């Protein structure tokens, strides 16, 4: 994440959304997306139950909070990871949350 994005997050995000929390979420999302498919898809595991949804939700909040030009910069880091996660997981039609990453296993 660039300094410009980090600075904007610290200025615009408020107490519960800052550069440190978004950097942590990006690191966690990166780790999940690069994990082997069998580890992501396993039943009752922390990666797809907790880590992935919380990290991706935090990134989405940042993308919606940032001005367009800075969101585009962060999105350029997130989009390839989203594609990896989507390729390694399967849709779960019974689960409807409104967030595509929560509806995959």
> Over the stretch 12-38, which tens digit does the pLDDT of each residue have?
877 789 999 999 999 999 999 999 988
Give me the pLDDT at residue 63, please.
96
Give me the pLDDT at residue 11, please.
92
Closest CA to 92 of 48, 55, 60, 58: 48
> Over the stretch 92-102, which tens digit does the pLDDT of each residue have?
877 777 788 88
**DSSP label at 35?**
S
Q: Is the dihedral of CA 103, 46, 32, 11 positive or negative?
A: positive
Question: Chain-wide mean pLDDT for the chain?
Answer: 90
Q: What's the pTM value of the predicted model, to 2 decimals? A: 0.90
Give me the pLDDT at residue 24, please.
96
């Amino acid at each position: 994440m660039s300094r410009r994005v980090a600075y904007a997050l610290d200025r615009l995000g408020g107490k519960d959304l800052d550069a440190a929390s978004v950097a942590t979420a990006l690191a966690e999302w990166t780790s999940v997306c690069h994990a082997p498919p069998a580890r992501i898809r396993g039943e009752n595991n922390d990666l797809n139950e907790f880590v992935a949804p919380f990290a991706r939700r935090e990134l989405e909040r940042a993308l919606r909070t940032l001005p367009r030009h800075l969101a585009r910069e962060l999105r350029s880091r997130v989009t390839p990871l989203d594609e990896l996660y989507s390729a390694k997981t399967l849709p779960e039609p019974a689960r409807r949350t409104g967030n595509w990453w929560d509806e995959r296993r």
